[in-house]
Amino acid sequence: DCQERSFLAPMNKDSHIKKVIGVVSGKGGVGKSSITSLLAVLKQRAGYRCAVLDGDITGPSIAKTFGVEGTQIYSNGESIIPATSLEGTRIMSTNLLLNDSEEPVVWRGPILAGMIKQFWSDVQWGDIDYMFVDMPPGTGDVPLTIFQSLPLDGIVIVTSPQELVSMIVSKAVNMAKTMNIPILGIVENMSYVECPDCGKKIFVFGKSHLQDVAQKYDLHILGQLPLDSELTQLSDMGMIENYDSSWLDEFEKQIQFF
């Protein structure tokens, strides 16, 4: 018995978005925003037109990661024109609307959900092959409302080895099933560190439970990604589009979603 998604927001008349993929996590800090950004970077590199809708509105980081923080956002009267990264990815985030990006976002649930709907309906996204939505962390009311209001074609679950993965995954799986949205796969972020001298993978958080959990819920593993200080640094500098590393090739092969 699938819950009817009757709250779907209408798409902006100047937007043609082929696929919308939500990226979810159980809690903050596992790298959900980073993975959302990397998915867009990889798809953009592969020649697709990409967009990132920053739905993590209480902790928005996408604009900074792509170096568009501080971009003046314009409206043509009817629609809002999103920011565009150097490589051409379109971006919309609450911190593009705030005067001071350090200003904390303290709006409550319904306003947050309304904001996301507006990002969908009022932003002139143009022609987009892949839109990635950085969802708010967790499986509470706000993510749920956003799930219901956007026409998601699939979701990607991001976890980290420190999390109680099974519980979180079961919640995300239930949420997706209730909404009848396919789960495209699961990513374990910060799984290991690679020794810069010998290349050996060091699993700092011990044995991963990813395989067991993926099997239990019948999920496709998209990757176990390393902890890489280069990624943090480039993200901090707004240059995630310059990130490159050997593991990206394997990850890219796994994200042939549609």
Identify the CA nearest to 189 among candidates 36, 35, 27: 35
Residue 96 to residue 83: CA distance in whole angstroms: 8
Residue 137 to residue 154: CA distance in whole angstroms: 16
Contact call for residue 143 and ligand ADP (CB under 6 A): no
Binds ligand ADP (CB under 6 A): choice among 12, 15, 44, 61:
61
Contact call for residue 154 and ligand ADP (CB under 6 A): no
Residues from 225 through 254 that contact ligand ADP (CB under 6 A): 225, 227-228, 231-232, 235
The residue assigned the tokens 């009848």 is: 180
Contact call for residue 30 and ligand ADP (CB under 6 A): yes
Contact call for residue 190 and ligand ADP (CB under 6 A): yes
Nearer to ligand ADP among residue 80 and residue 223 (C-beta):
223
Instruction: Say if residues 107 and 57 touch (Cβ distance below 8 Å).
Output: yes
Residue 255 is encoded by which pair of tokens? 């994200």
Residue 87 to residue 85: CA distance in whole angstroms: 5
**Cβ neighbours of 153 (radius 10 Å):** 18
Beta carbons within 8 Å of 201's beta carbon, 6+ residues apart: 192, 193, 194, 195, 226
Contact call for residue 186 and ligand ADP (CB under 6 A): no
Q: What is the size of the binding site for ligand ADP (CB under 6 A)?
A: 17
Contact call for residue 40 and ligand ADP (CB under 6 A): no
CB of 130 to ligand ADP, least distance (A): 18
CB of 183 to ligand ADP, least distance (A): 18
Give me the residues that bind ligand ADP (CB under 6 A), please. 25, 28-34, 61, 189-190, 225, 227-228, 231-232, 235
